[in-house]
């Protein structure tokens, strides 16, 4: 496996494979790799000839300086995990190689998808930072496919929209959330949890599971009640809820009448750690369809 | 020569050449081709294996609906001119193929380069429209090099900056302004000029030439005087000046002390037609350099 730090090294390392027509996969990460990332790398390994893992803690997507400073940096462990999962090349650039002096371009997606939930909590600059760095990494690597975790479901939807809007020639692949045996979604931030907070954090996947179960049984029929129940159970466990909502999985518009397939998304804080998670759910109740009236049909 | 209208057709047409490692050049145009475009296509023909000309009147870069509506559409003549100049493939998409429903992404460059001159006159949305469509065309075609006219000097500087900022794997080539024998820079909008306006329009290249001559002889030493003289001569000829300034050719910051190399940029209206033009000039006077004091050197 090769570790490179500059775009020139990256392109030189990929040139022979590209010239031979090999397929290239990109797994973009901010490092602090865990088995969730491992699952992305293994999925990429299964499909592509060459697997590139980028490791870059992107400063422009952090709205809190303290969060950026505290974000774990563990490059030597990352290299070992990526290699074990099947990566061929790790690209770990320095920030000034990504954002040189005079840098002034943003790839910006506007609308509900970037302004709600994570966009509302972390500020509109968060997704601008995400979409700009993803566009740059795609331009640097030139992959045929790129792998993203479904844990960051809104980010995945944002990336899919930007890739479609900019006609980028890459297939975006979403991979399922990887959970610890007790149900907590893996996250680089979990290593900041104290043992007590780690235990309390389980309230988030439990609240989402209860909500999904309520939707699927038909007990929960509206988004507001779903939110109220989830907030109550999170607060009971000592978490500070940010949002729990049933949303349309593509547009992330909030769904109030729970009569079809939704994604239940949630975010909460425990101690100083921010947790996010999500779970799909489909109501057993038939989705209401609009039956055209005779007048509408003949109009 | 092949004419295609969709991205799928475009990519299919380019796939064999790309698989063989052929070099691909893109000449992005808004159609209404003239010999200025011809010079871009010939330059591309000299350097690349496959020359793609895109013809798309991009609605998002027009700030005036009337200007967009009046913009000439001449596809059959464009195809003939492009073929004669050496194009292999013309890509002429429909607007809804470029901007499908739900499109919401912008590639935005912020700062002096997009906010002054053309950005100020046409609104900040103008360059957002330009940079977004150029990013999309580069993603659709995947060229090794792309050709832009130096007549739109600010656009060229904007495109260079965005390509560098987004790490796009393409070489941007600027080609010299092509002028009619009497000195008027070729432009698709010139066909809207009445004979009298066509004659009056010559005042713009003459004003720029007088300014360049004044800078090079050392007679003009400040940007304000350059502007005043040029505005006076444009008004004498019946033109309505928008701007005439000496600028830094990369950043488009206005230069007041004319003691080095500058680009003199100008825009004016005659009847309802907007004209732009530019000319480089270098003062004979040596550029002032900052001699470090003993204190600064030893500090």
In order along its 299 residues, chain B shows pLDDT tens digits of 999 999 999 999 999 999 999 999 999 999 999 999 999 999 999 999 999 999 999 999 998 899 899 999 999 999 999 999 999 999 999 999 999 899 999 999 999 999 999 999 998 799 999 999 999 999 999 999 999 999 999 999 999 999 999 999 999 999 999 999 999 999 999 999 999 999 999 999 999 999 999 999 999 999 999 999 999 999 999 999 999 999 999 999 999 999 999 999 999 999 989 999 999 999 876 555 444 444 433 33
Kindly report the pTM of this predicted structure.
Answer: 0.94
Q: Is A131 on the interface with B (CB under 8 A)?
A: yes
Question: Shortest CB distance from B19 goes to which of A21, A109, A161?
Answer: A21
Phi/psi for A46 (5° steps) reads: -65, -25
Give the per-residue pLDDT at A284.
74
Burial grade of A166 (CB within 10 A; 0-12, 13-18, 19 or more): buried
Interchain pair A109, B104: CB under 8 A: yes
* Mutation choice for A interface testing from B6, B96, B115, B139 by most A CBs within 10 A: B139
**Confidence band, pLDDT 50/70/90 cuts, at residue A298:** very low
Burial A48-65 (b: 16+ CB within 10 A, else e): bebbbbbbbbbebbbeee
For A159, name the nearest residue in chain B, comparing CA atoms only: B105
Give the per-residue pLDDT at B287.
53
Distance CA A293, CA A2 (A): 65
Give chain A positions within 8 Å (CB) of B142.
Answer: 169
Q: H-helix or E-strand containing B264?
A: strand B261-270
Which position among A34, A37, A126, A192 bears the catalytic label? A37
% of chain A beyond a pLDDT of 90: 91
Distance CA B98, CA A145 (A): 22
Q: Closest Cα of chain B to A121: distance in Å?
A: 21
Give the per-residue pLDDT at B284.
74
Interchain pair B109, A111: CB under 8 A: no
- Give CA A164 to chain center in angstroms: 17
Give the per-residue pLDDT at B292.
42
User: What does each C-alpha distance from B194 to A134, B198, B268 come to in angstroms?
Assistant: 49, 6, 16
pLDDT of A180 higher than 50? yes
Which position among B34, B37, B126, B192 bears the catalytic label? B37
Question: Shortest CB distance from B105 goes to which of A102, A139, A162?
Answer: A162
For B170, name the nearest residue in chain A, comparing CA atoms only: A139
Q: Is B131 on the interface with A (CB under 8 A)?
A: yes
Q: Is B142 on the interface with A (CB under 8 A)?
A: yes
Distance CA A203, CA A106 (A): 37
Determine the average pLDDT of the residues in A13-19: 96
Give the per-residue pLDDT at B291.
44
Give chain B positions within 8 Å (CB) of A136.
Answer: 166-167
Interchain pair B110, A109: CB under 8 A: no
pLDDT of A294 higher than 90? no
Determine the average pLDDT of the residues in A150-172: 98
Q: Is A124 on the interface with B (CB under 8 A)?
A: no
Give the per-residue pLDDT at B124.
78
Query: CB–CB of B157/B250 below 8 Å?
Result: yes
Give chain B positions within 8 Å (CB) of A132.
Answer: 166
- Give CA A130 to chain center in angstroms: 10
Interchain pair A166, B139: CB under 8 A: yes
Torsion, Cα of A72, A77, A82, A84 (10° steps)? -150
**Strand, helix or coil for residue B196:** helix
Interchain pair B166, A113: CB under 8 A: no
Query: CB–CB of A166/A107 below 8 Å?
Result: yes
Query: Where does residue A138 fall: left (phi above 0), alpha (psi -120 to 50 degrees), or beta otherwise?
Result: alpha
Q: What is the DSSP letter of B5?
A: -
Give chain A positions within 8 Å (CB) of B162.
Answer: 105
- Give CA B127 to chain center in angstroms: 11
Q: H-helix or E-strand containing B134?
A: helix B124-141
Domains of chain A by start residue, with CATH = 2-175 (3.40.50.620), 188-280 (3.30.1300.10)
Give chain A positions within 8 Å (CB) of B109.
Answer: 104-105
Query: CB–CB of A168/A96 below 8 Å?
Result: no
Active site residue B37: yes
User: What does each C-alpha distance from A131 to A154, B69, B94, B218, B287 come to in angstroms?
Assistant: 12, 33, 26, 49, 42
In sequence order, what are the residues at sequence separation of 6 or more whose Cβ sits closer than 8 angstroms to the Cβ of residue A110?
Answer: B104, B105, B106
Whose CA is closest to B206, among B239, B174, B242, B247? Answer: B239
Question: Shortest CB distance from B142 goes to which of A106, A109, A169?
Answer: A169
């Amino acid at each position: 496996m090769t570790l490179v730090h500059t775009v020139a090294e990256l392109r030189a390392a990929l040139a022979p494979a590209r010239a031979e027509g090999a397929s290239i996969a990109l797994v973009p990460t901010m490092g602090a790799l865990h088995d969730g990332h491992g699952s992305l790398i293994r999925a990429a390994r299964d499909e592509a000839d060459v697997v590139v893992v980028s490791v870059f803690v992107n400063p422009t997507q952090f709205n809190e300086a303290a969060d950026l400073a505290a974000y774990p940096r563990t490059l030597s462990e990352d290299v070992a995990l990526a290699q074990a999962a099947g990566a061929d090349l790790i690209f770990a650039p320095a920030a000034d190689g990504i954002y040189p002096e005079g840098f002034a371009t943003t790839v910006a997606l506007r609308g509900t998808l970037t302004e709600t939930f994570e966009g509302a909590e972390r500020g509109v600059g968060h997704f601008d930072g995400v979409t700009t760095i993803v566009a740059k990494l795609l331009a640097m690597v030139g992959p045929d496919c790129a792998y993203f975790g479904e844990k960051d479901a809104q980010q995945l939807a944002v990336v899919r929209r930007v890739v479609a809007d900019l006609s980028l020639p890459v297939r975006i692949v979403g991979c399922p959330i990887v959970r610890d045996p007790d149900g907590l979604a893996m996250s680089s931030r979990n290593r900041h949890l104290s043992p007590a907070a780690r235990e309390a954090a389980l309230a988030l996947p439990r609240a989402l599971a209860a909500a999904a179960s309520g939707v699927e049984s038909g007990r929960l029929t509206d988004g507001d009640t779903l939110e109220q129940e989830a907030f109550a159970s999170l607060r009971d466990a000592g978490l500070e809820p940010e949002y729990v909502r049933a949303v349309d999985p593509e547009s992330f518009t909030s769904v109030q009448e729970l009569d079809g397939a939704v994604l239940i998304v949630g975010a909460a804080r425990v101690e100083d750690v921010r947790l996010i998670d999500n779970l799909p759910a489909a109501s057993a109740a038939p989705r209401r369809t609009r039956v055209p009236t005779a007048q509408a049909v003949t109009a």
